[in-house]
Amino acid sequence: MQLEQLSYISEIVGAVAIIVTIVFLIVEIRRNTNESKRQFMEGATSQRSSFVRMIAADRELAGVINRGLTGSGLADDQWFQFNMFLYALFVEFEFNQRRFEVGEMDKDLWRAWIEAYHWWLQFPGVRNWWHREPAGYTDSFRAYIDSHMENHPAPNDSKPVDKAVSSNDD
C-alpha cells in the first residue's frame, strides 16, 4: 500500500471518528436536557406542595392566611406575614411562567400552576395585596395578573376556608 492510500484511509477514519463524536455529543446533550427538565418539573411540583405543607403545618400562619384572604382582620405584623407569603408565592408563579415561556415546563404542569394562581386571585385580600404590592415583578407578569383580574372579577362567594364544626380550639 502506498503512502497516498494510507493518507486517504486515515482521513476517512478521522472523518468517521468526528461523526461518531458529534452523534455522541447530540445524544448526551439531549439526555442532559431531558434530565434537567425532569429535575425542574420535580422541583416545581415539590415547590407547589411545600407551600401547602407550610400552611398545613403552621396553625398560626394558616390563620393569618385564612383571615388575609378576606382582606381584613390582620394586625400589622400579620399583614406583613401575609404580604411576604404572597410575595414568595407570586415569585414562584412568575418564575414558572418564565420557565413555561422558554419551553422548560410542560403544558399540564403549567396548567396546574395557572389554576393555582387563579384560585388565589379569587380572594379579595389577594387582589387588594396585588393592587398595593406588585413591585418586584416583571412587566409581562404584572400585565398577565392585571389582565386576569380585569377579565375575571372575584366571585361574590370567595371566602376563606370555614372552620370544621368538629374542630377543637385549644
Q: What's the rounded mean pLDDT across residues 43-53?
A: 75
| 13 within domain boundaries | no
Quickly state the pLDDT bin for 170 (edges 50, 70, 90).
Answer: very low
Is the pLDDT reported for residue 92 higher than 70? yes
Greater confidence (157 vs 168) lies with 157
**Residue 34, C-alpha cell as written in the block:** 431531558
d(C-alpha 60, C-alpha 77), whole Å: 12
Residue 22's Cα: distance from chain center in Å?
Answer: 35
What's the confidence (pLDDT) of residue 49?
Answer: 75
Contacts for 82 with CB less than 8 Å, ≥ 6 apart = 64, 65, 68, 74, 125, 129
Contacts for 79 with CB less than 8 Å, ≥ 6 apart = 68
What's the confidence (pLDDT) of residue 25?
Answer: 92
| 141 within domain boundaries | yes
| 44 within domain boundaries | yes
Q: Percentage of the chain with pLDDT > 70?
A: 87
User: Which domain, by its residues, includes 87?
Assistant: 40-151
Instruction: Quote the number of domains for the chain.
Output: 1
Is the pLDDT reported for residue 135 higher than 50? yes
Q: What is the dihedral of CA 148, 93, 95, 150, to 10 degrees?
A: 10
Q: What's the rounded mean pLDDT across residues 162-168?
A: 38
Residue 66 near residue 161, CB atoms below 8 Å: yes
| 19 within domain boundaries | no
Q: pLDDT by residue (tens digit) across 32-42?
A: 877 877 777 77
| 14 within domain boundaries | no
Q: What's the rounded mean pLDDT across residues 62-72?
A: 90
Q: What's the Cα-to-Cα distance from 13 to each of 4, 10, 21, rounded to whole Å?
A: 14, 5, 12
| 20 within domain boundaries | no
Is the pLDDT reported for residue 163 higher than 50? no
Quickly state the pLDDT bin for 160 (edges 50, 70, 90).
Answer: low
| 163 within domain boundaries | no
Looking at residue 120, its amino acid is: W
| 105 within domain boundaries | yes
Residue 144's Cα: distance from chain center in Å?
Answer: 15
What's the confidence (pLDDT) of residue 78?
Answer: 94
Q: What's the rounded mean pLDDT across residues 113-117?
A: 87
Quickly state the pLDDT bin for 167 (edges 50, 70, 90).
Answer: very low
